[in-house]
A and B are shown apart, each in its own frame.
Chain A
Amino acid sequence: MKVLPAICPSCNSQLNVKSLVCERCQTEIQGQYELPLLARLSLDDQSFILEFIKASGSLKEMARLLGLSYPTVRNRLDEIIERVKLAENTRENNRKEKL
């Protein structure tokens, strides 16, 4: 499966979605759509978040599933939180620049 790129390989800016297509009838919608916040994270981070939700938000359960220690998993979550905050700030700044 192809990986959805979130960052421009040319200038490192955030990529937007320009067109969406219906696989069934081939209807195509064009526009400028921002990628959702979670889609801007790496696949590894997205998978971690999914597993975290499936574990009912229990870090202990996550640690057991991954065979890692509790602080290691908690540190990983803290890193993702930092990246989400950064992505939020970047999105806000981009919006302000456009206005």
Chain B
Amino acid sequence: MTEITANTKAANGNRLSQWLFNPFRFVAGFRTLLLGLAIILMSAFVSSLSNTHFDGVLDVHIGFEAPLWIFFAEGLINWICMVIPLFFFGLIVSHSSFRMIDVFGTQALARWPYLITSVVMLPEANQRFGIYLMSRFASTAASGTVDYTDMLIFIFAMVVAVIMAVWMVALMYRAYAVSCNIKGARAVVTFTISLIGAEVLSKFAILSLLS
């Protein structure tokens, strides 16, 4: 086989870590977009079973019952709110020509850790403890009873949710850097601005949808 393949294989050294933290080295394009959208919709469906709302690009909240389409809309709004500013920053900042489908596809796939979040939020103990905490904060009488198992399950779910959020942000950054070919300070600054803007925009969009 040719040298390039040998060199590339050597560079791929730790392929597993690359798949975990930078899968976009290997996948992009239309099929990635389809896979990413399927994962967003699957996460929305699973989260609807426990009334967990992704009501912001990074937000995870145990909330009220809502029709299934609200959960789907939240997932899609979060994705769109993140991908649009990144795409425009890419057009302004990148010196390369890049494909829109890669930006949209990789950003969709980057949201896959929230599928894990939606799964760990499934146990009813999370809802029970969440309601208990809210009633404590609101200084109202707690509805229902909670035990230590509920608390442990809730703490586990919160820890996993935080880890998944960090992982998702890391994936979104890598997706942006690879699909738009932007590196260094320019990538960090434009990504951070996009993330903050997308968080605000998605909160407003979802609030207006719910109201």
Residues of A within 8 A of B (CB): 43-44, 47-48, 50-51, 65-72, 74-75, 78
Report A-chain residues with C-beta under 8 Å of the C-beta of B95.
Answer: 78
CB-based contact B25/A72 at 8 Å:
yes
Where chain A touches its partner, the secondary structure class is helix
> Would you give 7 A-B contacts (Cβ < 8 Å), ordered by A?
A44-B3, A50-B2, A66-B8, A70-B99, A72-B24, A72-B25, A74-B96
Report A-chain residues with C-beta under 8 Å of the C-beta of B3.
Answer: 43-44, 47
Where chain B touches its partner, the secondary structure class is helix
How many residues on the B side are at the interface (Cβ–Cβ under 8 A)?
22
CB-based contact A71/B99 at 8 Å:
yes
Report B-chain residues with C-beta under 8 Å of the C-beta of A72.
Answer: 24-26, 28, 178
Task: Give Cα A71 to B28, complex, Å.
Answer: 7
Task: Give Cα A75 to B28, complex, Å.
Answer: 13
Report B-chain residues with C-beta under 8 Å of the C-beta of A43.
Answer: 3
Report B-chain residues with C-beta under 8 Å of the C-beta of A65.
Answer: 5
Report A-chain residues with C-beta under 8 Å of the C-beta of B106.
Answer: 71
The answer, yes or no, to whether B140 is at the interface (CB within 8 Å) is: no
Known: A47-B2, A48-B4. A68 touches B25 (CB 8 A): yes
**Which of chain B's residues has its CB closest to A60's CB?**
B29
CB-based contact A51/B2 at 8 Å:
yes
Task: Give Cα A35 to B177, complex, Å.
Answer: 34
Task: Give Cα A11 to B2, complex, Å.
Answer: 32
CB proximity of A62 to chain B, nearest CB, Å? 9
CB proximity of B188 to chain A, nearest CB, Å? 17
Report A-chain residues with C-beta under 8 Å of the C-beta of B179.
Answer: 71
Task: Give Cα A69 to B22, complex, Å.
Answer: 11
Report B-chain residues with C-beta under 8 Å of the C-beta of A50.
Answer: 2, 4
The answer, yes or no, to whether B208 is at the interface (CB within 8 Å) is: no
CB-based contact B4/A47 at 8 Å:
yes
